[in-house]
Chain A
Amino acid sequence: MKYNLLDEPWLPALFGDGRTEWIRPWEIVGDDPPVGLNPQRADFRAALMEFLVGLLQTAFAPADIRARDRMLDSPPGQEALREAFEAHREFFNLFGERPRFMQDLTMNEADKPKLNKAAFLFIEQPGDNTEKKNKDLFVKRGLIKTLCPACAASALYTMQVFSPAGGRGLRTSMRGGGPLSTLCAGDTLWQSLWLNVAPANVRQGGIEPASGREVLASRVYAWAAPTRTSDKNEQVHPQDMHPLHAFWGMPRRIVLREEAAQGPCHVCGREHELAVREFLSRPNGYNYGPEWVHPLTPYTMEQGKPPLSIKGRSNIDAYSNWLGVVYGEPNAKRHMHAALCVHNAGRRGGRIGVAGYDMANDKARQWCEHVFPSFALLGDEATFGAEVRGMVAAADQVRRNLLGALKDALVHEAGKNQAKTDMSLFENANNMFWGRTEATFYDNAARLAALPDRNASLSERDELRLVWGRVLLAESSKLFEEIAERFGIPPERMERCVEAHRRMKNYNIKHLRGMEMYPPREA
């Protein structure tokens, strides 16, 4: 009943020719290296990427940024990785004797653990209560009963790193429920992982390496020591653990039950001699304090308040989130900090994958995923940030004017306060507005990034601002026509419609003028 995650080929890797093969962690490099991961589920992909970044960070961290950058294009050999991981093997057993990977060390019969179906390892699956009340609506119960060891490990890690609020004593991940994971992407799997690994040099924005087995077993890998339970809401703070513990947080007390398999895995469809159909659990696991800052997640910082992780949400792909996620927003009243990994990837330009669950407490609304571009900055960062923030602020104001005008045009006077009843229309208008202005936004941002210092490029900046204003005006008008003035308005409502449109245009022009995004009035 042995299954060690450093020995078994359990990671679904995607290769350049399109085939998927299951590899061992040290096979992320090689003569024909994989280009990415290709698991059956998108949440697995984000979690497994984090797993590998965490493993490299813990067992193979580069000394400094220069060493990191050097190895981007000349990865180590498989043997070097295997040796580096060797010292950590004892912490990566999925089954068998404890300690077991991401599982409680001491839970036993006396704790009266609860026996759960394997499906409860998945964030989006209907929970106990939903099943009892017969409320599983979109994701139906009973589809996932048997897991192969690889999928069980993936599900277990996904649950522990993204774990949502789950009811009394079911703790959230150290980043809160449904955190956003932001990872820089490269051309190969190795690059996509390595770009996100911080140097060991703390002064360079690095993460202190762990020294010796004792530290690993007590303060990095939470499962090698008795769980710090939280029956009375006791919290675990960063100073109680090693900084590397961020990658190995274990808010849920879980012990998997392995058994001989009867059939294929319900997630990946592969056969394995072992299967997980049930697991044991207890509430009140690690209860992480609010001071934790995860290196792969952006945070909002406000003076005098604990950092607040950015969460997965439906409009995560809107570019209003872009500046903060990619560059951070140090000038705003509430500082938004890009994830450490994004910050360390530096001003190279490239792509940044963002992903996370949009949670409503314990209910997963959706899995959200998007790729943001990132541009190398030629000029100074503060100027760039200010210009982009201005663009976003203008867009946001125009968007609000659009929604207001739509309400004026479509909702009866008496019903304006209850306009939420038809929210999907406004929500769609929102998304369409962000979507249709997106191409110009990134185009403008790329041009701004390529401009030298402020004074040398005044006229280019002016021109870009005017371009932006034109696009915002045109798209808001077009959307208004499509949504409010679409066919079938009774004649008595047309005046309201036309008036709302006219007012919106005037507001927009006035506002854009104020931001130098529309030509000034002729004197």
Chain B
Amino acid sequence: MMKLDQAFNDDGFWKAVESWWHGLDKDRGQRAGLRRAKSRTEVYVSPAYRNGLVEKLARFELDEPDLERLALAAGVLAKARHLRKGHFAAVFAREGKGSPDMRDVRFRKLLAVEDGEYDELYRMLVRFVDMCGGAASLGGLIRHTMYWNDQARMNWAREYYPNRSKA
């Protein structure tokens, strides 16, 4: 058994995730299954997740709580059409649609999601991907949606505020 944060240090893990994401283009059924899910919980229990990403990562022997955490990013990434590097908060800061003021308001709503409310966080991030015209960051989403607490919020804020585009 490997813990998820250990797997992050393994190149093979990231290669597997990337190849899964690119594979979604060919496996429309799986993508549609993931896109139908309305919460992290729904992703977690969906056959699309089980037969897709979970299977790809089988050799890392992640435990169920880690697979549940990973489901959030998997569901959000299924909505994405382009990949970017870095933290997703920085991507949103640069590419999010709307006026800077509105973007700030939306971001603050994200920060207001309470500790451990992963279904709520999921819905919010799905909307964020839409507002970025389908752009998302793969590593960023996987790494930074594992836990939602004060520390995570501060991290997101540190990535968002300094990277805001002026227009």
Contact = CB atoms under 8 A, between A and B. Distances in A.
B161 A498 contact: yes
Contacts of B149: 487
A488 interface: yes
B58 interface: no
Contact of B153 (A494, A499, A502): A494
Interface string A486-498: 0111011011011
Given A502-B161, A502-B162, A494 B104 contact: no
Most buried by A among B149, B161, B162: B161
Nearest to A497: B157
A501 B112 CA distance: 21
Interface string A467-488: 0000000000000000001011
Nearest to B113: A491
A87 B153 CA distance: 77
Q: Range of interface residues on chain A?
A: 10 to 19
B144 to A, nearest CB: 15
Nearest to B151: A487
A487 B162 CA distance: 20
Nearest to B161: A498
Contacts of A498: 157-158, 160-162
Given A491-B111, A492-B108, A495-B104, A485 B154 contact: yes
Contacts of B154: 485, 487, 489, 494, 497
A501 B161 CA distance: 11
Contacts of A502: 161-162
A494 B108 CA distance: 9
Interface string B141-167: 000000001110110011011100000
Contacts of B150: 487-489
A498 B157 CA distance: 7
B158 A501 contact: yes
Nearest to B157: A494
Judged by DSSP, the binding face of A is: helix
A488 B149 CA distance: 9
Contacts of A499: 161-162
A105 B102 CA distance: 84
A495 B151 contact: no
Contacts, number: 37
Contacts of A489: 150, 153-154
A355 B86 CA distance: 52
B14 to A, nearest CB: 27
Interface in A488-517: 488-489, 491-492, 494-495, 497-499, 501-502
Interface string B77-94: 000000000000000000
Given A485-B154, A488-B150, A495 B161 contact: yes
A491 B108 contact: yes
A498 B150 CA distance: 14
Nearest to B111: A491
A492 B162 CA distance: 16
Contacts of B161: 494-495, 498-499, 502
Contact of A491 (B151, B153, B158): B153
A485 B112 CA distance: 16
Contacts of A495: 104, 108, 157, 161
A499 B111 CA distance: 16
B116 to A, nearest CB: 14
B166 to A, nearest CB: 15
Contacts of B151: 487
Nearest to B162: A502
A489 B161 CA distance: 15
A107 B139 CA distance: 86
A492 B149 CA distance: 15
Contacts of B112: 491
Contacts of A501: 158
Given A489-B150, A489-B154, A494 B162 contact: no
A372 to B, nearest CB: 38
A38 B23 CA distance: 77
B148 to A, nearest CB: 12
Contacts of B108: 491-492, 495
A488 B152 CA distance: 11
Interface in A38-70: none
Nearest to A484: B154
A502 B157 CA distance: 12
Interface in B89-124: 104, 108, 111-112
Contacts of A492: 108
A477 to B, nearest CB: 11
Contacts of A491: 108, 111-112, 153, 157
A485 B151 CA distance: 9
Which 7 A-B residue pairings sit nearest by Cβ, starting from the closest? A491-B111, A487-B150, A494-B157, A498-B161, A491-B112, A502-B162, A485-B154
Interface of B: 104, 108, 111-112, 149-151, 153-154, 157-158, 160-162
28 contacts: A485-B158, A487-B149, A487-B150, A487-B151, A487-B154, A488-B150, A489-B153, A489-B154, A491-B108, A491-B153, A492-B108, A494-B111, A494-B153, A494-B154, A494-B157, A494-B161, A495-B104, A495-B157, A495-B161, A497-B154, A497-B157, A498-B157, A498-B158, A498-B161, A498-B162, A501-B158, A502-B161, A502-B162
Given A487-B154, A491-B111, A497-B154, 19 more contacts: A485-B158, A487-B149, A487-B151, A488-B150, A489-B150, A491-B112, A491-B153, A494-B111, A494-B153, A494-B154, A494-B161, A495-B108, A495-B157, A495-B161, A497-B157, A498-B157, A499-B161, A499-B162, A501-B158
